């Protein structure tokens, strides 16, 4: 099995009003935490897709010239030229996805006969997800501001649901209120 991690970092941060991926968590920019956790994982390769805001990193990065058209365009950029077995779609604004969560999903995908792996916590789906090569054409045909949710919903019988003992699979930092709440809880 060969799985590429695609880190989506091309959002406009419009709800935040500034480049949210550079907000600090324990004095480290959020996007750097996402990248570091992914680098330490079992993922076979990594790529980060950026748009409005460039970033400095030592992993392969791809510019999404269509970033304003939504998340689907970033997923397409991340898939370009890839012929492996699956892709893990990681969100740049989810810095609490630890390496051990990534590794559990990776292992579940490599050991499963299913083509999609989704983390679950208390019956609810979270992120990141792994989509197998069987559905790459659907990812490429996606439009607008969506990732893989529709594909997952359309192929429920081909989804490996992996229970994760953490609500971190839901925590994304979309706006100032969420970020400030994290500061108050001393999470950041």
- 187 pLDDT more than 90: no
* Cα–Cα distance measured from residue 88 to residue 5, given in angstroms and rounded to the nearest whole number: 5
Residue-averaged pLDDT of the chain: 92
Q: What is the pTM of this model?
A: 0.93
pLDDT reported for residue 59: 95
* Cα–Cα distance measured from residue 77 to residue 96, given in angstroms and rounded to the nearest whole number: 24
**How confident is residue 183, by pLDDT bands cut at 50, 70 and 90?**
confident
pLDDT reported for residue 165: 92
* Cα–Cα distance measured from residue 90 to residue 147, given in angstroms and rounded to the nearest whole number: 10
Among 102, 152, 150, 146, smallest CA distance to 132 is for: 152
pLDDT tens, 29-57?
Answer: 999 999 999 999 999 999 999 998 899 99
Residue percentage of the chain with pLDDT more than 90: 76
Tell me which of 3.90.1150.10, 3.30.365.10, 3.90.550.10, 3.90.480.20 is the CATH number of domain 3-184. 3.90.550.10
Label residue 61 exposed, middle or buried (CB < 10 Å: 0-12, 13-18, 19+): middle
Residues 6+ apart with CB under 8 A from 164: 101, 104, 119, 120, 121, 126
Distance (Å) of CA 74 to CA 1, 10, 145, 171: 23, 7, 9, 20
Distance (Å) of CA 32 to CA 24, 58, 93, 170: 9, 10, 10, 19
Residue percentage of the chain with pLDDT more than 70: 95
Distance (Å) of CA 27 to CA 7, 32, 58, 97, 188: 21, 11, 19, 17, 8
- 116 pLDDT more than 60: yes
pLDDT reported for residue 15: 64
**How confident is residue 20, by pLDDT bands cut at 50, 70 and 90?**
confident
* Cα–Cα distance measured from residue 17 to residue 84, given in angstroms and rounded to the nearest whole number: 37
pLDDT tens, 56-85?
Answer: 999 999 999 999 999 999 999 999 999 999
Q: Does 174 or 7 have the greater pLDDT score?
A: 7
């Amino acid at each position: 099995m060969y799985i590429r991690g695609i880190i989506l970092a091309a959002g406009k941060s419009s709800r935040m009003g500034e480049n949210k991926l550079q907000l600090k968590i324990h004095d480290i920019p959020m996007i750097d935490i996402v990248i570091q956790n992914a680098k330490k994982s079992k993922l076979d390769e990594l790529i980060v897709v950026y748009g409005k805001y460039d970033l400095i990193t030592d992993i392969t990065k791809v510019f999404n010239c269509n970033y304003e058209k939504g998340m689907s365009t970033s997923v397409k950029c991340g898939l370009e030229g890839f012929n492996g077995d699956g892709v893990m779609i990681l969100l740049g604004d989810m810095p609490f996805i630890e390496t051990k969560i990534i590794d559990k999903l990776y292992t579940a995908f490599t050991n499963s006969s299913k083509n999609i792996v989704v983390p679950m916590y208390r019956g609810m789906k979270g992120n990141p997800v792994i989509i197998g090569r069987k559905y790459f054409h659907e990812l490429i045909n996606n439009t607008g501001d969506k990732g893989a949710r529709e594909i997952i919903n359309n192929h429920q019988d081909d989804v490996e649901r992996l229970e994760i003992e953490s609500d971190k699979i839901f925590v994304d930092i979309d706006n100032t209120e969420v970020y400030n709440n994290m500061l108050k809880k001393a999470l950041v």
